[in-house]
Amino acid sequence: MALEITDSSFQDTVLKSDKPVLVDFWAVWCGPCRTLGPIIEEVASDFEGKAVVGKVDVDNNQEISMQYGIRNIPTVLIFKNGEVVDKLVGVTPKEVIAEKLSAHL
């Protein structure tokens, strides 16, 4: 299951992770985000133990959303060693997300 990442947990969960981290920036009211949600959950299950998969609610965590310039949601960022190494905007097929994340394992 995807982790709920907050402004306060972002540093430890994402930036200090020794594994690649996929972060889905989303909001409850966002239709495309609700479409992407189950896909992110599947990716979280598929990559369990190999990568960290989490979600940031942009309404409740505006600090981190602003820091990374999130203007459109859903936006998926992939971090490795605390740096953004890939970005996907909009609803993306599971295969594409898995391929992008696999490239950073």
3-state DSSP of the chain: CCEECCCCCHHHHHHCCCCCEEEEEECCCCHHHHHHHHHHHHHHHHCCCCCEEEEEECCCCHHHHHHCCCCCCCEEEEEECCEEEEEEECCCCHHHHHHHHHCCC
Q: Is 30 a catalytic residue?
A: yes
- Domain assignment of residue 5, given as a range: 1-101
Domain count, the chain: 1
- Of 3, 9, 19, 30, the active-site residue reads 30
> For all residues of the chain together, what is the average pLDDT?
97
Catalytic residue from among 5, 33, 52, 56: 33
Interval 3-54: pLDDT, tens: 999 999 999 999 999 999 999 999 999 999 999 999 999 999 999 999 999 9
Average pLDDT over residues 72-83: 98
Q: What is the pLDDT of residue 101?
A: 98
The yes-or-no answer on residue 76 being catalytic is no
Mean pLDDT of 61-90: 97
CATH number at residue 57: 3.40.30.10
